[in-house]
Structure 1
Amino acid sequence: MDDWRNGGFGLYVHWPFCQAKCPYCDFNSHVSANIDQKLWVRAYLSELDRLSEQLSGRVLNSIFFGGGTPSLMQPETVAAVIDRAREIWPFANDIEISLEANPGSVEAGRFAGYRDAGVNRISMGIQALNDEDLRRLGRIHSVSEAKSAFDIARKCFDRVSFDLIYARQGQTLKTWEAELREALSMAIDHLSLYQLTIEDGTAFGDRYARGKLRGLPADDTAADMYQATQDICASFGMAGYETSNHAKPGSESRHNLIYWRYGDYAGIGPGAHGRLSIDGTRYATETHLAPGAWLEAVSKGNGESLRESLSQEDAVAEYMMMGMRLSEGLDLARYTQLSGVNLPESRLEDLVQMGMVTISEKKLRATDQGRALLNAVLRELLMD
């Protein structure tokens, strides 16, 4: 009934607006010239009040403002959400309150305000450390602006992470290794390093389908970039604790660990997802995607578009898919408690023999080779 406590409890707040839509992005983001932030504050607080009745008595471990571009939120908007959450749930002593930020001058000018509002961690979307690739990615900042914003952030916050995308157009293994070393020389305690994926429904997806997205590295080169990323980050003391995330020990993203350790999280804002355990049942929640539709639904009392109970089979599969992304691995006793059965020993032995997983201290972990082929490992573990 209380399995979620193994992962903790977090709050995700989605801000759906951006200054411009990046061509690779498939997140729920929208460009709008005029945003009534007071209206959005009222809507967020209304959703928190609704959830408070269902999720009372919990300790809140993290809050994450994601988007979109949350650094377009006024600090007063962020403060109001944090203050209401504090009224509803006791905060953990080490609560992590993260906010995603783009490294533009407007956003950087708000960093002190976010700190005063209660934010204690910034995650910056730098994405590349050369101007030509930033332009290709549709980013509206330059490398110099990114570095300036990063310097401002590190003066305001003890914890600052940033994102980079690799396997970009025209990128070689050698140029990525050099860029990664530069990033690691800047990094404080955390980096998120994502391989460029071409998603349907994005501008890049459309160009790729028409044969217009040229210069992408071959699959073998992209795989080499992934392995180089693991090796170089580890040599800098920032080993990968998750497939795409690297941190100094103790500096892992606590909010994202709630996802990967299969805890509970409430999601508010357009397009936010959640996982909530109520009266022994785990529910998947979704909210309306369009900002206007979400605001209208909230005005009627509930911004959710879906709340669906998860079957035991689905919950077990989600735990498996999340937990195997982590270097700490999957707790086999917890798997058995969730599923009612042990993983078949013969299947585990086959994966061990292939060098894909290891088993120790009652933990199932993917090896470096297994993490590079994680989807195949998961298919083997989850097959009937």
Structure 2
Amino acid sequence: MSINDPRNPSASAAPLALYVHWPFCVSKCPYCDFNSHVRDRIDTDAWRAALLADMAHEATLTAGRPLSSIFFGGGTPSLMPPALVADLIAAADGHWGLAPGVEITLEANPNSVEAARFADLAAAGVNRVSLGLQALDNEALHFLGRAHDVDEGLAALDTAQQVFDRISFDLIYARPGQSEADWQAELARALAFGTDHLSLYQLTIEPGTRFATLVAQGKLTPADPDHGATLYELTQAMTGKAGIPAYEISNHARAGQESRHNLTYWRYGDYIGIGPGAHGRRTGKATLRHKKPENWMSAVTRNRHGTQSEQPLTGEDRAREALLMGLRLTEGVDLDRIAALSGISVPHLVDERTIDQLIDIGLLHRRDARLQVSAAGMLLLDAILPEIVTV
């Protein structure tokens, strides 16, 4: 594939994805970096004008490329006024045009306040919702810092299924004290709801988080890695049998129901990020918006966009990112494609000798230029990537 091939995400006519970051929460969130994101009142007109200006700036740099997906994420995007969501979708259509079958996703917390807005959001143009259920156990939800309980979460899921054609929800497993039987029962219940997409993540202890503090204090014992591996294998078996196998290390879908927006990230396509803290990758550059809402708004007022930085990506940057993202997918990566978009030959992208060794023990598959991590290899992905990626 040449760098000018329209299937190449760096080509000028290739489709784009648009990410809209809405930073505000209505209550203190355990995952939020800024308490200032909590708002009782928001000047919707000011935010509409600023988001539209930020979008228009990006449109001038990417004209002629239709949008394949729009994703509303961030703090509590499901509490955005539906009229604002509709205005942003209409503006995006006016700037770029929406590709046939465009996917328009909105993240939502599974509570009654947000669920009551689902019909209006669907009328505004949202056609897919991603619900942050996170657990089907009240004690676990409390541990994870969630405000909803199981009954409220499932009521929101029921409402979503009545309103949207496409629904995804996420669960976190390998929680402290969670046995194999516990997870098997919880996942079986989740699969019985019949959604076409599930995001299933193992609990990880990230530095600087509340969980990391609890571990350091001896108040939290993370799941043993071997136990986590057992739960991962159970997850693959159950979802595969249910007809929603993994297409990415933590994401599962029926055929054709994969998240098209996230596939743009993982396949290293171009995407635009607008709103506070939004990242983007487009035309060979990495873009970053000011993170704090007030700083972003001030930048838009000054410059008509909220960009904090825009850095050219070297060939090595692009190759590394494409490999690290793409090898998360069960489909793997096309090494010839990555060589074309980065200008770096395949032998300089990966360690061929190590790849051959890992193929011999069943952790990788390779057919011509297609390199894939096997099901067994996905358990060791974090260890495999630095061994084979050489850029």
| C-alpha deviation, 1:229, in angstroms | 1.0
> Alpha-carbon deviations, 1:253-299, whole Å to 9, x = none?
0000000000000001111100011xxxx101111111111111111
Which residue matches 1:267? 273
Quick one: which amino acid aligns to residue 4 of structure 1? P
Q: Cα distance 1:382–1:26, how it changes in 2: closer, same or farther (>3 A)? A: farther
Quick one: which amino acid aligns to residue 180 of structure 2? L
Quick one: which amino acid aligns to residue 305 of structure 1? Q
**CA distance in structure 2 between the partners assigned to 1:71 and 1:269 by the alignment:** 15
**CA distance in structure 2 between the partners assigned to 1:325 and 1:339 by the alignment:** 22
| C-alpha deviation, 1:300, in angstroms | 1.1
Q: Cα distance 1:225–1:128, how it changes in 2: closer, same or farther (>3 A)? A: same
Match of 1:341 among 345, 356, 361: 345
Decide whether the 8 Å contact of 1:28 with 1:67 is kept in 2. Answer: no
Which residue matches 1:70? 77
Q: Cα distance 1:37–1:208, how it changes in 2: closer, same or farther (>3 A)? A: farther
| C-alpha deviation, 1:336, in angstroms | 2.8
Q: The residue matched to 2:204 in structure 1 has which SS?
A: coil
Which residue matches 2:152? 145
Which residues of 2 match residues 196-207 of structure 1 at below 5 A? Answer: 196-207=203-214
**CA distance in structure 2 between the partners assigned to 1:360 and 1:153 by the alignment:** 41
| C-alpha deviation, 1:162, in angstroms | 0.3
| C-alpha deviation, 1:347, in angstroms | 3.0
Decide whether the 8 Å contact of 2:289 with 2:296 is kept in 1. Answer: yes
**CA distance in structure 2 between the partners assigned to 1:359 and 1:28 by the alignment:** 45
Decide whether the 8 Å contact of 1:8 with 1:258 is kept in 2. Answer: no
Decide whether the 8 Å contact of 1:70 with 1:100 is kept in 2. Answer: yes
Q: The residue matched to 1:53 in structure 2 has which SS?
A: helix
| C-alpha deviation, 1:348, in angstroms | 2.3
Q: The residue matched to 1:364 in structure 2 has which SS?
A: strand
Structure 2 residue 333 is matched with structure 1 residue 312: no
Decide whether the 8 Å contact of 1:198 with 1:205 is kept in 2. Answer: yes
Bigger mean CA offset, 214-223 vs 325-334? 214-223
Which residue matches 1:111? 118
Q: Cα distance 1:145–1:236, how it changes in 2: closer, same or farther (>3 A)? A: same
> Alpha-carbon deviations, 1:203-254, whole Å to 9, x = none?
2232223223x24321211121112111111110010000110000000000
Which residue matches 2:301? 299
| C-alpha deviation, 1:368, in angstroms | 1.2
Count of aligned pairs between the two proteins = 378
Which residues of 2 match residues 44-59 of structure 1 at below 5 A? Answer: 44-59=51-66
Q: The residue matched to 2:9 in structure 1 has which SS?
A: helix
| C-alpha deviation, 1:5, in angstroms | 5.3
Q: Cα distance 1:382–1:248, how it changes in 2: closer, same or farther (>3 A)? A: same
Query: Could you tell me the TM-score, scaled by structure 1's length?
Result: 0.94
| C-alpha deviation, 1:28, in angstroms | 7.0
**CA distance in structure 2 between the partners assigned to 1:158 and 1:241 by the alignment:** 20
Quick one: which amino acid aligns to residue 292 of structure 1? E
Which residues of 2 match residues 217-256 of structure 1 at below 5 A? Answer: 217-256=223-262
Bigger mean CA offset, 221-230 vs 304-313? 221-230
**CA distance in structure 2 between the partners assigned to 1:209 and 1:304 by the alignment:** 37
Which residue matches 1:329? 332
| C-alpha deviation, 1:322, in angstroms | 0.8
Which residue matches 1:285? 287
Q: The residue matched to 1:187 in structure 2 has which SS?
A: coil
Structure 2's unaligned 5+ residue stretches are none
**CA distance in structure 2 between the partners assigned to 1:285 and 1:357 by the alignment:** 33
Q: The residue matched to 1:85 in structure 2 has which SS?
A: helix
Decide whether the 8 Å contact of 2:334 with 2:370 is kept in 1. Answer: yes
Query: Could you tell me the TM-score, scaled by structure 2's length?
Result: 0.92
Identical amino acids, percent of aligned pairs: 47
Match of 2:264 among 258, 264, 277: 258
Which residue matches 2:177? 170
Which residue matches 2:102? 95
Which residue matches 1:83? 90
**CA distance in structure 2 between the partners assigned to 1:210 and 1:8 by the alignment:** 48
Q: The residue matched to 1:298 in structure 2 has which SS?
A: helix
| C-alpha deviation, 1:34, in angstroms | 2.0
Decide whether the 8 Å contact of 1:163 with 1:191 is kept in 2. Answer: yes
